[in-house]
Amino acid sequence: MVRELEERGFRSLALWVLDVNPTRAYYAHLGGREDGEKTEPLPGGGELREVRMV
């Protein structure tokens, strides 16, 4: 997918991933870095935290 986007002229990519998702380490290994976060309340209590990887 990244190659296809590069061929089309895109030079950046961002995705939101849950903070507890172990694939965050994989994205970091590929050169991604954390660039922000957001938190949303869950029905019934608690919150959902997401991290933006670029």
pTM of the model: 0.75
Instruction: State the pLDDT at residue 3.
Output: 87
Task: Tell me if 7 is assigned to some domain.
Answer: no
How many angstroms separate the CA atoms of 39 and 17, rounded? Answer: 12
Q: Has residue 1 been placed in a domain?
A: no
Q: What is the DSSP string of 17-41?
A: EETT-THHHHHHHTT--EEEEEEEE
- Flag whether 3 is in a domain: no
pLDDT digits (tens, 9 = 90+) for 5-31: 899 999 888 999 999 999 899 999 988
Distance CA 45, CA 40 (A): 10
- What are the b/e assignments for 9-20, b being 16+ CB within 10 Å? eeeeeeeebeee
The domain in which residue 46 lies consists of 14-53
Overall number of domains in the chain: 1
Average pLDDT over residues 28-43: 94
d(CA 54, CA 15): 7
